[in-house]
Structure 1
Amino acid sequence: MPNEEHPGPPPDRLAFQAGEGQFRALAEAASDGIVAIDTESTILFANAGVSRIFGYPADELIGADLTRLMPDFLRHLHHAGMARYLETGVRHIHWASTELPGRHRDGHPVPLEISFGESRAGGRHIFTGIIRDITLRKRIERRLTIENGVAQVLGRSTFEAGVPAAVLEAVGRALGWPWGAIWARDESGEVMRCTEIWSADPQSHTAFVERSRQLSLAPGQGLPGRVWASGQAIWVSDVVGDQNFPRAEEAGLVGLHAGIAFPVQRRGETEAVIEFLADRVEEPDADLLGLMATVGAQVGQVIERRRAEEALQHSEERYRSLVQATSQLVWTCDPVGNIVEELPAWTGYTGQPFEAYRGLGWLEAVHPDDRDPLLAAWQRAVAAGEPLREFEARIRRADGEYGAFAVRGVPIFKPGGELGEWIGTWTDITARKQSEDRLRQADRMEAVGRLAGGVAHESNNQMSVVLGSADFVLRRPDLPEAVREDVEHIRQAAERTAAITAQLLAFSRRQQLQPKLLDLDKEVRTLEPILRRTLGQVNTLALRLGGLPGRVRVDPGQLAQVLLNLTFNARDAMADGGTLTICSRAVELSAEQAAAYSGDTVAPGHYSVLVVSDTGHGMDRATLARIFEPFFTTKPVGRGTGLGLSSVHGIVRQSGGHVTAASEPGVGTTFEIYLPVAQPEGKDDAPAAPGLDVRGSGTVLVAEDEPLLRRMIARTLRESGYTVLEACDGEEALALARSRIDLLHLVVADVVMPRVNGRELAVRLQRERPGTPVLFISGFPDLEMVERGLLEGGQPFLQKPFAPEALARMVKELVARGPVAG
C-alpha cells in the first residue's frame, strides 16, 4: 500500500506496471532481486527478492528513490552517473555484471552482484536491475583466503616463536581487520600479557597498543581472559560498549570495535590467545568463528610438533596430508600408482569416465607436452615410496581447453611400515600462472622503461650533435652534390635513430605525446614516400583515402610510427611480394556497438578509421590473440623485438582510440585504427613555417656538460646573431653569470649535469638575477624529468635531439618574451 511519504506511482508508472504482467509474474518467481526504475531513479517495480535482500516491504519501495538501497557514498555517484549516461550514453560502470555494496533497512551493508538492462515502456526509459546477495560467497572467499594464508605460513615457518606472529599478520590481512595481538601466559602461569602486536596502521593505534602492553589479564578478565577461561573462541560485536573489556576507552579513541579471540592450545590447555579487532561494528559470524578456532588449533599443532620430538613424525604426516589433500581435485591410488577407485571430481573436470582414467588412463587428459615428464616423475615417486613434490602440468577440461595445475601426492603407510595407498591433489593454478605472467610482464616493462631513459639520454645527446653538424654542412653553398647526398643520408639515419628512441619511450610511457589537429588523409599522403621505401621494390602500396569529413587530434610523429610499424610487419609477411592497402573511412559507433568490443573500453561516437591490409602469410587464432603483448614476436632472433605492435596499441590508446586486428593464414592481415574525430576549436595547430627568420640578438648562457653538443648549440646561436657564453656545468654557469653586469637574456641549461644540475641552476639564478628565463634541454623526456623532481611541469623544455633551426626558433621566442615573473 502507498504510504504518506510515497503515495504511489503516478499514472505513467502505473502504465508500466499494468503493461508488464508477464514480466511481473516471472520476476516474482525469481530467487534474485529484480527492480525497475525510471530515469529519475524512482522505483517502478521491486519483487519479493528485493524485499528479502534489503528488508523493505515491496510496496514501501514503489515510488521511492533507488538510492534508499545504497550506502551514503554511492548515492551522489549514482545520480551523477545516471545524468551522464542520459546525456552522453557513456556508462560509468559495467552493466553486464558488477559488484557493489547495498544498504539493508537496518543499516548494515550487503555485498551485491548486479546486472543492468535498459528498455522503453510508454515512451519512457526503463532500467531493470537483477540483484544477487553475495554475502555467502564473500564469506566463502574470505574463508578460503584465510585458510590458504594460514596454510602457507604454517608450511614455511621454521621456529616456534615465528609461527603465531606470522599467522597474526596473515589472518589479520585476510580478514581486513586492522589490529591483532597474541596474549601468552607469563612465567608464573597466572596471568596473560600481550607478547606480539600487529597493526595495519601503527600510528593510529598508538594509544591502544600502549594500553595493551601495560595490561596483565587473569582468567575471565577481558576478551583474552574469557577465552583463556573457557577454552572457546569468542566474538564481541563492539568492545567499546563491553563492560568486561578494560581497553574499551582506548578502543573507542582509535576506532576499534568488533573483536574476536580464540585459543592456541597444547594438550588441551590454553597456552596463548590470538585476538583481532575490526574498525567497525560487526555481528558474530558463526562460520568465521569456527574457522578461527580451527586456526588456533592448527597453530597449537605446530607448536606441539616443535616441542615434542617423539610426536613429530605422526603430527607432521597428518598435517601434510591434510594440507596437500584440501584442493579441488582429490585423488587416491593403489601402492603401485594405479587409480582403482572412481574420482567424481576428476570426471567432473575432465569429462573422463572411470573406465577411461582407471590405471594410468588419466594421463590421456594431460597435455601431450607434459605427459612424459609427469609420468617419469610419478614413476620415480612410486618406486622410491616418496612424496610427489609439486609438479606443474596442463589438464584438458571437458570442453577441450587446458588449465594449469600443480599435482602433489603423498604415500600413506600402514602401522607396520608397508605402503598402503597414495593420496594427493590436483590444484588449479591457472589464475596464479596468469598473475605471475602479468608480474613478469610488469617487471619487463619497468626494465624497458629504465633502459629507455638511459638510452634516450645518451642517444639523444649524440644524435643532437649529428643532426646539428649535418645541418651545418648542408648549409654550405659550395658543397658537391655527391657529398650533399651522403650528408643527407647521415641526417636521415640520425633521424631514424631518434625515431627508434622515441618509439621505445612511447612504448614505456615515458614520453608525453604532443597531439595536433590533423587531416588524417593528408597526413597519410605525406608519409606515402617513406612507406613505399619501407615496403621495398617487390611490394606495392595502394592508398584508397576517402576524404574524411573531420579531423583527429594525434601526435603526428607517433602516427607515423604506427604506420611504419604496420608497414614493417607487412613487408616481413610479404617476403615474396604483395600489396599493402591503406584505406580511410568515417564511422559512428553507437553505445551498443562500442560495448560489443572485447578487451579495451571503447567509447561511442564519431571516428576516423585507417584500415591497413596486407596480402601476407597471415596468422592463426592463437598468434593473433597475442600480437599486442609486449615482447611477443614470431620473427627469428635478431629480426624482431616484440615492441612494434605493442607500441601501435599503446600509441592509439593514448590518443583516445582503439585498434583491432583480423587475420587468416594464407590470406593476410588487416588492422583497423579508430581515432576519435576532434571537436572544432576555432583554429588549427599549424606548425611554424620552416622558412621563418630565426635570427635574433642578446646574450645567451649555455650550460651543457657534453662538449660536442655544447659547441654545436653555441655555434647555432652565434650564427643566429646571439652573444654566447659557454659553461660545462651549473657551477661554472653561475660563476659566468656573476661575472657579468649586463643583461643575461636567456640561459639554455641541460637538466642533468654534474655538481649543479639544471633545476638548481635555475633556482639560484632566480635568487641572484631575478627574471632570467631558462630553457631546459635533456635527452630524457620531460615527463620523466618531472617524475624525478628534476623539472617542474610547464617550464620551457626542448627534447633532444633537436635541429639547429628548432633551437634557434625557441630561443628567439623566449628572448622576445623578456624576463619571467619571479
Structure 2
Amino acid sequence: MLQSIKENFINKLEKKRKEILPQSPPEYLHILTDAVHTSMNLISRSDALYHDVEHTCMVTLCGQEIFAGKKILEGELNGSDWLHYTIALLFHDIGYVRNILAGDNDESQLINSTGGTHELKTGDTDASLTPYHVERGKLFINERNWGREIDKNVLIDFLSYTQFPIPDRGVAVEGEDDKYRGLAELVGSADLIGQLADPMYDVKIARLFYEFSETGSAKQMGYETPADLRKGYPGFFINFVRPHIGEALRYLQVTDEGKTWISSLNYHVFSQSHKAQLESDGIELLNELTKIDPKIYSIEDLIQITLNKICDYKDWPLGHVYSVEDSEKGPLLRSMKIWHAQVGDETMLEFKKISEDYVFEPGLGLPGRVYDTNAVQTIHDVTVDPNFPRAKLATDIGVRGAFAFPVSDKRGVKFVLEFFSLEPEQLDPSVLELMKHVSRYISRMFFQK
C-alpha cells in the first residue's frame, strides 16, 4: 500500500514540476523520488494519530497550488526554488518520528542542537514530541546527506516557518533574501491550509484532539472532547490562522485546484459555524419522513415523496432512482424514470436521458458502487471521477457533486436513490451520517408495508 502511495505521489509531483516549471532540470525527478521515499518511509513508522503520511501529502499538494499561483502572478521563481520548497513540505513533520536522529535513543529523544532531550514515558506516542518537532526536523535536515543541488540551510529556514503558534518575526533583517523569506512563509501557510482544508478534516479532528490531549494542549485551550475542538474551529481559524495566510490565499485563487482548496477551507468554517442548524434541519427531515404512511402509497409514490423531501432538505436540485432487476447476467440497475428536478434546461434534459438509458452492473458508476457496498456513496465532482461513466457521454453533463444511498430488504439492495448538485460538493460528515439513518429508515418503511 505504501509503495503504491509513494509511486502515485511522485507522479503527481513530477507532473506539477513540468506544469509549473517546464524548463527545470529533469534530474530533479531523482532527487524528488529520494525525498518522497525517505519522508514517507519514516513518517509511516510514526504512531502519532493525526500527523501521518496522508497529512504530509495534503500539505505538499496544497503547497504546490500556492507555489503555482505565485509563479503565475510574479514569475520570479525557478526550479531550485520549487525543489527546496517541495522538499521542505515533504519533511515539515519529520520531527514527529522518534529515533531518526543520531542522538535519539528509544526513550530519550533529542530536542535541540545543544543536546537537550525529551524522555518518553510508557504509553507515550510520537505526538508527545509536538512541542519539539520543528527543531527535530531541522536537526534531521542538517544531519542528512544531501546532493549538491540541495542547500540544507534553505530547507532548515523553510521548516522554521512551520512553528505554531506563529511567532512575530518582525520585518526582514538586512541581508535576508526577500524571495526565500516569502517562500518560507508560504511553507508555513501550506502546513495550515493543508490541514484545515483537508476534505476529511472533520472526521480526522478526533485524532488531532487526542494528540493535543497527550501534550496537555487540549486542557490549556479548554477542550475536553473532540466536539469542543470541532466547535472551536471557526474562532481558531479567524483569530489565529487567517491573519497569517492572506498571501497564500491570493495565490490559491489563481488556479482551479487552488480555488478548490479555498472552497474546502471556507466550507469547514461555514459548516462548523452552522452545525447547529444542520442538526436541526436533519431532525426536521427525519420527522417529515416519519409522518409518511407507507400503507396508502405505492412504491413509486413513496420513492417520489422521498426524493422530494430529501432534495428540499438542503436544496439539492436533482434526485433520481434506479431499481435492481435480475437478469441472466446477474443483477442490473435500471432507471425507474422517477425524478425530482428543480432545473430543466437542455443540459439537464440530456443528463436525464443519459441516466434513463444507462443500465448499470454492480460496481459500475455511482449506482453500481452503492449496490456493491450497500452503503452511502459520495462523489465530490462527477466530471473527474474515474467511475462515473455518464460524464463521458456528454460534453457538459450539467451536474457536479453527487451522493447516493441504498434502499434494501433482508436480501440486499432493491433501489438506489441518487442526488446531484450543480457544483462540486463535499458532503458534510453530519449530513453523511444523517443519510445513513435515512437509508435505514426508508428501507424499513418500504418493506414493512
TM-score band (shorter)? 0.3 to 0.5
Larger radius of gyration: 1
TM-score between the two structures when normalised by the length of structure 1: 0.24
Q: Compare the two structures and name the one with the higher strand fraction.
A: 1
TM-score between the two structures when normalised by the length of structure 2: 0.41
Whose relative contact order is higher, 1 or 2, with alpha carbons under 8 Å and at least 6 apart? 2
